Amino acid sequence: MTHNKRVVLVVGAGDATGGAIAKRFAREGYIACVTRRSADKLQPLVDSIQSAGGEAHGFACDARKEDDVIALVEQIESELGPIEAFVFNIGANVPCSILEETARKYFKIWEMACFSGFLNAREVAKRMVTRNRGTLLFTGATAGLRGSAGFAAFAGAKHGIRALAQSMARELGPMGIHVAHVVVDGAIDTDFIRENFPQKYALKDQDGILNPDHIADNYWFLHSQPRDAWTFELDLRPWNEPW
């Protein structure tokens, strides 16, 4: 085990926000442990971090499976180092009319965007409290503050993850664990937005969509805060995004 190394665990390390967060922490000397259901999709991110001089490890993990999550956290803690920062970044933003929504899809969205956050954060928190330090960060959305038409399942899941973060912050804060929730509202600079919403993507030149690297800077800022002035919730949106 590398005792002098610190670890950031990013659950849901995609090509945009999650990957940018992993890179940001790696630049600060953290071992970036990143997860997705498919390890193959993580290789470009791992290679990018390593080519920049950082250390990164990709793990295939179904964040909804309790045994898999327990094994993942145990492996990281025993083989790589203490998880000092945890980021839950699974989205599951799938629109559908409530009149057409199926029980199976509604449950799956909640399972991915809320339940898996509980499983992963719980396991990491168990380790952090023994050290009286650590940061747990949850990626939220405006759907966690108010539900929009056609997004009942997503709104329910995001309301749930925000409530989980609130409860954990109140319980774990006095134990030295900083828990924060980040509301990310607005289009993010991704291939998906460029290909499917070209008019929205055209606003990039006007700083009208969110830059993943700038989102990541805010996650590092939260982790770096002194404990006498912890932030629970940040709301990130481009200057031209309506409230």
What DSSP character marks residue 76? H
| Level-2 CATH architecture, domain 7-186+213-236 | 3-Layer(aba) Sandwich (3.40)
Q: Is residue 3 scored above 80 in pLDDT?
A: no
Other Cβ atoms less than 10 A from the Cβ of 206: the count is 10
pLDDT tens-digit map of 153-193: 999 999 999 999 999 999 999 999 999 999 998 888 888 78
pLDDT computed for residue 1 by the predictor = 46
Q: What is the pLDDT of residue 63?
A: 94
**pLDDT band at residue 2, thresholds of 50, 70 and 90?**
very low
The amino acid at 210: L
Tens digits of residue pLDDT in 67-111? 999 999 999 999 999 999 999 999 888 889 999 999 999 999 999
- Domain parsing of the chain, residue ranges: 7-186+213-236
Task: Taking residues 135-159, report their average pLDDT.
Answer: 92
Percent of all residues in the chain with a pLDDT value above 90, rounded to a whole number = 78
Tell how many helices (H) and how many strands (E) occur in the chain. 9, 7
Please give the residue that has the higher pLDDT: either 200 or 88.
88
pTM of the model: 0.94
